[in-house]
Amino acid sequence: MKSDTLKGTIIRGSSGRLAVTPATLATAKGYGSRVISGDTPVRRDVGRLWAAYAVSEAGTAVGAGALPLVALLVLHLGPLEVSVVAALSGIVAAVLALPLGSLIEFRPKRSAMVAADLARFAAFGSVPVAAAFGALTYAHLCAVAVVQALGVIAFGAASGAHLKALVPADERLQVVSRFETTFWTATTVGPPIGGALVSLVGATASMAVDAVSFLLSAIGVRRLRTPEPAPPVRRPGTNRRSDLAAGWREIHAHRGMRALFWNSLLCGGSLMMAAPLVPVLMLRDLGFAPWQYGLALGVPGLGGIVGALLTPRLTQRYGARRVLMTSGVARTMWMSLIALATPGATGLVLIITANTLLLLSAGAFNPSFTAYRLTAAPDDHVVRVIASWSISQRTAQPMFMLAGGVLAEATSARTAILVAAVLLVSSAALLPWRAPDAGPPGSAPPCGAETGGLSDVDQAAGQVAVATAPPVTSTVSCTSSVPFGTRT
């Protein structure tokens, strides 16, 4: 999944020619004031964004895991070299992304999203072409991986701020849940199609599909015609070096965001620690067939779909805070079942059940989480907050994966997964249990204010993505990047 699930979607802006004046669509700052209800042009734009997002996510799902497949099947690289591609791309992208948050914050978000999509289109599209001419190299794949990771961070940060400007707080949850449902549907259906495509056409075929989806996403963003609010203005005398850490300062100055930040690092790290070990447990230790492993990957996606569909209804009935906290705890409870699995049908059912319940909880948590973060982040720091969050995750998660590999080597895959499950459960203690209300959208406290938490305003906000947690058996992020702002 494109870590930015935002790709071409809501986060992308809105396209329908204005039938009202800009004043009716934006406040003085231009954020969070657009009214969707009764506003046909904006509603039409949201529909266009959804269509673009659906195409983009379908391409991403079909191309899931394409880069390592090309490394293995075309370049015939070993496991270590394939791992280096993933680790190196994450670290290099995190370093290069440091100045991106500030750069994007004070510029139009739509153009940044288009640029990120086009860069990834060019990078992914170059692989099938190079392979066709026998010119594909290991260095080429590493460069593509860096561009892809950097694009995910840039697009996710820009699209999160764009979403906050486009959709008012009391409309976000409905909109985001629609995109979250689309994401989980694509995640469930896409990988088997991608696998069949690779088998029939070749390893680079799914990368070509993914490249085209980026291009269509960029076209979808360019079609948006509703004026974008003016970007924030950099304060005179601001030290550009201090801007690099501005996102982290805002996160830690806000009690609720600070709690969710550390919760997401531990939750996502624990899931990623187990991710490469589950196939080892299933295929090597428990003796499951590849088709059974594929079943354990695909079926749980239905849980994410159900969770996303139920979120608006649950929030309306129980409130945003209760949904966020309950689903935040629930998503931590199921990994230990995987560690207890035994050979045979019972073990397979246990693993599928654990993954399904995890994704059901994640499908409900992600929209609530993103909504809260968009509400809590000050308007002129949204991009930097999301970028800093994404960089932190992409730096921390490889460390958890390395620790899991070392532990599994010293003990067993089952033991390492059990340790990851204990860490995952402990992450629930870091949720914002005592944080007060966050306040109305756009009024989040400035750096230094000690407030946070969830309010009734948050129940209407949602994010599909910068960090949704896919099955434990696949790449996972605990905060979303589904379509809004970072599955990042």
Residue 344 Cα to chain centre, angstroms: 34
The residue whose two tokens read 């490469």 is 276
Which run of H or of E encompasses 465?
Answer: strand 465-466
How far is residue 130's CA from residue 207's CA, in Å, rounded to a whole number?
A: 12
Angle, CA of 232, 30 and 250, to the nearest 5°: 50
- How far is the C-alpha of 209 from the C-alpha of 359, rounded, in Å? 26
Token digits of residue 317: 């009935």
Mind listing the pLDDT tens digit for each residue in 385-444? 888 888 888 888 888 988 888 898 899 989 999 999 999 999 999 999 887 544 443 333
At 340 the pLDDT is 94
DSSP state of 418: H
pLDDT at 366: 87
Task: Assess contact for 175 and 11: CB atoms under 8 A.
Answer: no
* pLDDT at 133 (0 to 100): 94
How many Å from the N-terminal Cα to the C-terminal Cα in the chain?
11
Cα 374 from Cα 462, distance rounded (Å) = 8
pLDDT digits 0-9 by tens, 336-359: 999 999 999 999 999 999 999 999
Neighbours of 451 (CB within 10 A): 17
How far apart, in whole angstroms, are the C-alpha atoms of residue 300 and residue 291?
15
**What 8-state DSSP symbol labels residue 436?**
-
How far apart are alpha carbons 393 and 388 in whole angstroms?
9
Q: Quick one: which of 251, 252, 246, 268 has its CA closest to 100?
A: 246
Please give the pLDDT value at position 431: 94
CB of 472 within 8 A of CB of 275?
yes
**pLDDT score, position 237:** 64
Q: What pLDDT shows up at residue 79? A: 62
Going from the first residue of the chain to its last (488 residues), give the mean pLDDT of each consecutive group of 10, the final group possibly shorter: 38 32 33 49 74 83 82 79 73 78 80 91 96 94 90 81 74 78 84 82 90 93 80 71 79 89 94 87 85 81 89 88 92 94 94 94 87 80 82 85 87 93 96 67 35 31 31 40 37
Going by the DSSP 8-state scheme, the letter that residue 29 receives in this structure is: S
| pLDDT score, position 460 | 27
Please report the domains of the chain, with CATH numbers, ordered by start residue. Answer: 10-482 (1.20.1250.20)
What residues does 264 pair with on adjacent strands? none
- Distance (Å, rounded) from C-alpha 194 to C-alpha 434? 45
- Amino acid 436: pLDDT: 56
Q: Which candidate, 362, 181, 381, places its Cα nearest to that of 268?
A: 362
Asked whether the beta carbons of 88 and 48 are under 8 A apart, the reply is: no
